[in-house]
Amino acid sequence: MTERFAAAKLNLCLHVTGHRSDGYHELDSLVVHIDQGDWIIVEPADDLSLSVSGAFCEGIPADGRNLVLKAAHLLAKQIGEPVGAKISLIKNLPSAAGIGGGSSDAAATLHLLSSLWNIAVPDLDGLSKLGADVPVSMSPELSRMEGIGERLTHLGDPPVLNFLLINPGVDLPTPKVFAALTEKFNAPLPKELPELHSSEDWIDWLIMQRNDLEAPATDLRPIVGEVLSALRDWPSAKLARMSGSGATCFALFSSWADAQEAEAHFAKTQPNWWVRAARTWNGKDQVSRSTT
């Protein structure tokens, strides 16, 4: 039996820069992964199967609709003979939440099964067929995503940043958010990113960036705006922003103690919200299942 942490991703910023003739939107985004996530466990077996447990397992399919099994079948096709594995997904992250839970689950599955079956993971084209966020989820590095996610630039270890994540528990389908976006041609990130060293440098620079999907997401689900307002009003929060297409929002703090203090407050005052303090994850630090 082997297991792998499937880290949530955060879009530190997300600029929508174009709308293609095939309907897809062009993006320019900086992505980090954090120490909150799901877990994938793989055991040898004759057939492929998936079981789902965890705090957010309700409503998660355990059949071919799940991205985990889609990833497993994609890899199995490359072998050309029947292979099997018993896959267990521990679902700690809310789904359809703008933090790439399903994509990270698929990426973790590919890593584990490639080792079990002794086969290389699919190339970028294959990964992209599973979803736009799957390629970036294959690596814990700070990454710049451009195009529809197929143009990736890995930028090394992520900066050390302290977050508070809040998801108010509303459904916010990505296609609806993009459809509600009125301005689809916006300025990209700078061609050359500045050299930023401290967390304060990063926060100061990120304040000047944006998530172009915040406005349509807030129009569709006003509670997203309520979450952002609550985070922006918190005294020690340096920046509040939505991740991806929502509905998860995050605040950035100068210190871990400040993030934990905010977590304690919002967990108590908003018991129906998913509230987690988190830090960037570089793929090397140990993460316990009990902490996610």
Q: Which residues contact 249 (CB under 8 A, 6 or more apart)?
A: 165, 166, 167, 224, 227, 228, 231, 240, 241, 242, 243
Neighbours of 20 (CB within 10 A): 11
Clarify whether residues 260 and 285 are in a common domain.
yes
Strands 85-90 and 162-167: unpaired
* pLDDT computed for residue 284 by the predictor: 86
Asked if pLDDT for residue 36 goes beyond 70, the answer is yes
Mean pLDDT of 146-161: 93
pLDDT band at 291 (very low <50, low <70, confident <90, very high): low
Structural domain boundaries enclosing 275: 162-291
Q: Which of 96, 121, 154 is the last residue of a domain?
A: 154
Question: Which amino acid is present at 273?
Answer: W
DSSP 120: P
Clarify whether residues 148 and 215 are in a common domain.
no
Query: Alpha carbon of 24 to those of 132, 183, 185, 211, 220: distances in Å?
Result: 11, 14, 12, 17, 20
pLDDT band at 290 (very low <50, low <70, confident <90, very high): low
Name the token pair of 222. 């006003």
Q: Which residues contact 151 (CB under 8 A, 6 or more apart)?
A: 145
Asked if pLDDT for residue 224 goes beyond 80, the answer is yes
Catalytic site positions: 9, 133
Mean pLDDT of 4-30: 96
Task: Encode pLDDT of 275-288 as tens digits.
Answer: 999 999 999 888 87
Task: Encode pLDDT of 199-215 as tens digits.
Answer: 999 999 999 999 999 99
- Asked if 89 and 43 touch (Cβ cutoff 8 Å), the reply is no
> 164: helix, coil or strand?
strand
% of the chain surpassing 70 pLDDT = 99
Q: Which of 122, 154, 186 is the last residue of a domain?
A: 154
User: Is the backbone peptide bond immediately before 247 cis, with ω within 30 degrees of 0?
Assistant: yes
Task: Encode pLDDT of 226-246 as tens digits.
Answer: 999 999 999 999 999 999 999
Asked if pLDDT for residue 289 goes beyond 90, the answer is no
* pLDDT computed for residue 156 by the predictor: 95
Mean pLDDT of 216-232: 98
pLDDT band at 162 (very low <50, low <70, confident <90, very high): very high
Across-strand partners of 166?
249, 275
* pLDDT computed for residue 233 by the predictor: 98
Distance, CA of 144 to CA of 190 (rounded, Å):
11
How many domains is the chain built from? 2
* pLDDT computed for residue 292 by the predictor: 65
pLDDT band at 180 (very low <50, low <70, confident <90, very high): very high
Asked if pLDDT for residue 132 goes beyond 80, the answer is yes
DSSP 185: -
Across-strand partners of 6?
38
Clarify whether residues 169 and 221 are in a common domain.
yes
* pLDDT computed for residue 241 by the predictor: 98
Clarify whether residues 176 and 119 are in a common domain.
no
Task: Encode pLDDT of 235-275 as tens digits.
Answer: 999 999 999 999 999 999 999 999 999 999 999 999 999 99
Clarify whether residues 10 and 74 are in a common domain.
yes
Distance, CA of 291 to CA of 268 (rounded, Å):
18
Average pLDDT taken over every residue of the chain? 95
Mean pLDDT of 95-112: 96
Mean pLDDT of 131-148: 94
Distance, CA of 79 to CA of 65 (rounded, Å):
21
DSSP result, 258-279: HHHHHHHHHHHH-TTSEEEEEE
| Domain CATH number, residue 108 | 3.30.230.10
Distance, CA of 288 to CA of 78 (rounded, Å):
33
Q: Which of 94, 129, 154 is the last residue of a domain?
A: 154
Query: Alpha carbon of 225 to those of 31, 41, 105, 278: distances in Å?
Result: 22, 37, 28, 21
- Asked if 143 and 155 touch (Cβ cutoff 8 Å), the reply is yes
Could you tell me the end-to-end alpha-carbon distance of the chain, in angstroms, rounded to an integer? Answer: 20
pLDDT band at 126 (very low <50, low <70, confident <90, very high): confident
